[in-house]
Chain A
């Protein structure tokens, strides 16, 4: 199966700093979604970016997609302790094939 690769795997930052994580893939996608998982709220959808889009914003989140490099980045600005979680990309390929990436663990230190 096609598996996204996020880099870095683990990130520890101070509250107020920005956090950036990446997701790369090997085969063309229809769209890419980012999800957050923490113990309190389970898996929650954050943002979706289509293959014909290059950048999207949602609150403190900014997602970019570079289809030529087959990679996406998720930026969280002005991080908060509540942003501590694992972040996963979900890749949608054609024919309803999909795969989650391995995930980034982000720890925001108050």
Chain B
């Protein structure tokens, strides 16, 4: 079966432009997570979706970041007015129902964003 897929794999943009990153979770996974990983660093939690519940946006670093998910399918992470510090790999993961976090997360390959 297909794993988590993300597109594009690489994105180079100019400072001030908006970018949209896409994540296709594993079919049947109700939970979806977005993370950011700067070069040589750990993963920074951004946002979490669980089914049709309101997403947990507590990790979004600024109001330039937003994410949407339709039902239990595709999610998009949008970064408006990109800044150079937004350059990072953006990773998406999905899992079965996430209550208590007792399910492993399956990660996509990530989107490498470079803001010039």
Which residues of A pack against B, CB within 8 Å? 1, 3, 30-31, 33, 35, 42-45, 48, 50, 88, 90, 92, 96-103
Contact = CB atoms under 8 A, between A and B. Distances in A.
Interface in B21-35: 35
A3 B101 CA distance: 16
Contacts of A98: 45, 48, 101
Interface residues of B, number: 25
B70 interface: no
B41 to A, nearest CB: 7
B43 A88 contact: yes
Q: Is the interface of B mostly helix, strand, loop or mixed?
A: mixed
A48 B110 CA distance: 23
B42 A43 contact: no
Given A96-B56, A102-B42, A42 B109 contact: yes
Contacts of B58: 1, 97
Given A96-B56, A103-B42, A45 B102 contact: no
A31 B109 CA distance: 25
Nearest to B53: A96
B50 interface: yes
B9 to A, nearest CB: 12
